[in-house]
């Protein structure tokens, strides 16, 4: 084999390698573009779905956001500045909340008493229901026995 043949064979092999490398690079580039487009499309779709969900139930979304914010706030330690600024307000809010709960409980109990909805009245109603069910079962059983006797 001559030097010219060797050079020609070497050039052919180099060209082949170069072509395969270019093809591989092009293929990898296409796959990367497809993956990027797919991820972008999925992210856009997820954002649209989240937006639709928020539009359909904004109060639920607001409640969820507040719950997440409260959870994060409870996990983070308070700073001295927060203690100084928020401490007195927090104590007043806690006191007002307790007062509101007590007032609501008292008003509810008074209204239930006014309507004669007490624990004793509830027990009496449940006992009356149980007695009625027992009597109905007894009547049904006696009727079934009577029907069987009549067929004999």
Q: Do 61 and 54 touch, CB atoms closer than 8 A?
A: yes
Residues 36 and 99 both lie in one domain: no
The pLDDT value given to residue 6: 57
The pLDDT value given to residue 24: 80
Task: Find the domain containing 111 and state its range.
Answer: 79-117
Residues 72 and 1 both lie in one domain: yes
The pLDDT value given to residue 7: 56
Give residue-wise pLDDT tens across range 113-145. 887 777 777 788 888 888 888 888 888 888 888
Residues 143 and 98 both lie in one domain: no
The pLDDT value given to residue 28: 79
| Total number of domains constituting the chain | 3
Residues 86 and 69 both lie in one domain: no
Residue with tokens 């709960």: 101
Residues 2 and 71 both lie in one domain: yes
Residues 104, 120, 138: CA angle, nearest 5 degrees: 135
Residues 97 and 58 both lie in one domain: no
Residues 28 and 40 both lie in one domain: yes
Domain boundary residue, one of 76, 103, 133: 76
152 residues of the chain, pLDDT tens digit each: 555 555 566 667 777 778 787 788 788 788 888 888 888 888 888 778 777 777 777 788 788 888 888 888 878 877 887 777 777 777 888 888 888 888 998 998 888 888 777 777 778 888 888 888 888 888 888 888 887 777 76
The pLDDT value given to residue 43: 81
Residues 6 and 71 both lie in one domain: yes
The pLDDT value given to residue 11: 66
Q: Do 61 and 53 touch, CB atoms closer than 8 A?
A: yes
User: What is the C-alpha separation between 60 and 87, in angstroms, rounded?
Assistant: 29
């Amino acid at each position: 084999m001559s030097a010219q043949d060797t050079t020609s064979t070497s050039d052919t092999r180099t060209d082949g390698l170069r072509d395969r490398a270019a093809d591989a690079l092009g293929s990898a580039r296409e796959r990367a573009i497809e993956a990027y487009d797919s991820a972008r499309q999925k992210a856009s779709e997820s954002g649209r779905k989240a937006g639709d969900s928020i539009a359909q139930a904004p109060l639920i979304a607001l409640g969820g956001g507040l719950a997440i914010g409260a959870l994060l706030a409870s996990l983070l330690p308070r700073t001295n500045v927060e203690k100084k600024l928020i401490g007195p307000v927090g104590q007043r809010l806690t006191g007002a909340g307790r007062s509101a709960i007590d007032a609501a409980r008292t008003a509810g109990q008074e209204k239930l008493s006014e309507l004669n909805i007490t624990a004793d009245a509830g027990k009496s109603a449940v006992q009356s229901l149980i007695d009625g069910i027992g009597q109905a079962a007894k009547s049904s059983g006696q009727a079934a026995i009577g029907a069987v006797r009549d067929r004999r």
